[in-house]
């Protein structure tokens, strides 16, 4: 062989491209770069569509996983709670004299999803899964029209058109349940608990130093961001999934690459210290259903630029081209820097 050096160089380049997924500059690992460590059972993913309802889908995923842990395979209807949230906004709209519904009004927390369940009951996915042919933006625009705001009956008809009619009962396992009967069979009162950090803020219109209404503050236990990882790990090792809610704004969170890694706080021009994540309103946060942990494969550790050896695995409310649930990976350092709240089944119900 006349040019062994060139051949070796080409082989090395091919191996490097294979390890980096063909992107020499990427700083985010890909899903194929991981080996699962903890993998909890989860129900098949539902499609969220064009609605800012991740907090609903993540919470229902957690409840369904907890039911799987006791041998109850049940898929709950997220579309039903999306409709109930819209009706809740309509009632508030009418009570306040027909004010416009704002884009961020739909956003809420997993606690609010649990409240919707207790107030309205639940339906199974098979009995209420209308095709949401419209988006939240289009729905909000229609609900803000004067012809609807001035007439509650027209509003209800519009909701039936968008979401389909709500059944009064569900036939399941040879028995007939009302929505509230079904809810009481799967959800015990005050069975879920929440933990929050200083990053959680309630309203986009509130002052920067405003966190949560007093009624909500009482439902949370306050934790330091550094303890978020240990809390999540202990929950997953006990066999229970959870909901992580946090800041997903910025380049560190990559939906396209399905990963979130912490590149560290950035230093502002002229500042002596780097800027830390600031409190954000709920409408600018993401809720994810965490179902396990994973570790980078040996050849992939070089591209895990934040130094994390552990990643938390979320199941997203979307399916890939093969029909499988999309998985998302958050590094432990990202969790430390960006966690706003964590929700889980209380240990007294484990």
For 186-208, letters b (16+ CB in 10 Å) and e give bbeeeebbbbbbebbbbbeeeee
Q: Is 342 within a domain?
A: yes
Q: What is the pLDDT of residue 65?
A: 96
Q: Is 11 within a domain?
A: no
Is residue 264 scored above 60 in pLDDT? no
Q: Is 3 within a domain?
A: no
Q: Is 44 within a domain?
A: yes
pLDDT tens across 11-65, in order? 454 444 444 443 434 445 567 788 999 999 999 988 887 889 999 999 999 999 9
Q: What is the pLDDT of residue 117?
A: 95
Q: Is 12 within a domain?
A: no
Q: What is the pLDDT of residue 16?
A: 43
How many structural domains are present in the chain?
1
State the residue range of the domain holding 122: 18-265+276-349
Q: What is the pLDDT of residue 84?
A: 92
Cα distances (angstroms) measured from residue 80 to each of 52, 59, 76, 205, 282: 14, 14, 9, 28, 21
Q: Is the pTM of this model over 0.75?
A: yes
Nearest-angstrom CA–CA distance, 124 and 178: 11
Stretch 208-219: mean pLDDT: 59
Residue 116: give its domain's CATH number.
3.90.70.10
Which tokens sit at 125? 């996915």
Q: Is 1 within a domain?
A: no
pLDDT tens across 310-347, in order? 999 999 998 888 878 889 999 999 999 899 999 999 99
Q: Is 331 within a domain?
A: yes
Q: What is the pLDDT of residue 40?
A: 96
Q: What is the pLDDT of residue 133?
A: 61
Is residue 191 scored above 90 in pLDDT? yes
DSSP per-residue letters across 26-47: --S--GGGEEEEEE---PPPPP
Q: Among 54, 5, 17, which Cα is nearest to 326's? A: 54
Q: Is 270 within a domain?
A: no
């Amino acid at each position: 062989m006349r040019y062994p050096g060139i051949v070796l160089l080409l082989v090395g380049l091919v191996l490097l491209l294979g390890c980096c997924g063909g992107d020499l500059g990427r700083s985010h690992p890909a899903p194929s770069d991981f080996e699962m460590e903890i993998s909890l059972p989860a129900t098949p993913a539902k499609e969220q569509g064009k609605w800012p309802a991740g907090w609903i889908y993540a919470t229902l995923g957690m409840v369904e996983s907890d039911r799987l842990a006791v041998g109850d395979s049940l898929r709950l209807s997220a579309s039903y709670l999306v409709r109930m949230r819209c009706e809740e906004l309509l009632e508030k709209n009418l009570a306040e004299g027909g004010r416009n519904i704002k884009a961020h009004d739909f956003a809420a927390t997993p606690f609010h999803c649990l409240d919707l369940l207790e107030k309205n009951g639940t339906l199974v996915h098979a009995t209420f899964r209308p095709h949401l042919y419209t988006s939240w933006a289009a729905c909000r625009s229609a609900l803000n029209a004067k012809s609807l705001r001035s007439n509650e009956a027209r509003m209800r008809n519009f909701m039936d058109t968008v979401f389909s009619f709500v059944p009064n009962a569900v036939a399941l396992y040879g028995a007939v349940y009302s929505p509230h009967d079904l809810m009481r069979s799967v959800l015990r009162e005050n069975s879920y608990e929440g933990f929050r950090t200083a990053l959680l803020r309630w309203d986009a219109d509130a002052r920067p130093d405003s966190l949560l209404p007093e009624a909500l503050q009482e439902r949370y236990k306050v934790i330091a961001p550094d303890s978020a990882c240990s809390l999540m790990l202990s929950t997953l090792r006990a066999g229970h999934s959870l909901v992580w809610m946090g800041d997903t704004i910025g380049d560190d969170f990559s939906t396209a690459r399905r990963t979130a890694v912490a590149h560290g706080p950035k230093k502002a021009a002229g500042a002596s210290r780097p800027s830390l994540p600031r409190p954000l309103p709920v409408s600018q946060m993401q809720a994810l259903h965490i179902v396990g942990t994973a570790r980078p494969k040996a050849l992939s550790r070089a591209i895990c630029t934040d130094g994390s050896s552990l990643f938390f695995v979320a199941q997203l409310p979307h399916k890939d081209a093969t029909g499988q649930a999309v998985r998302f990976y958050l590094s432990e350092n990202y969790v430390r820097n960006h966690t706003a709240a964590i929700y889980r089944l209380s240990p007294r119900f484990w």
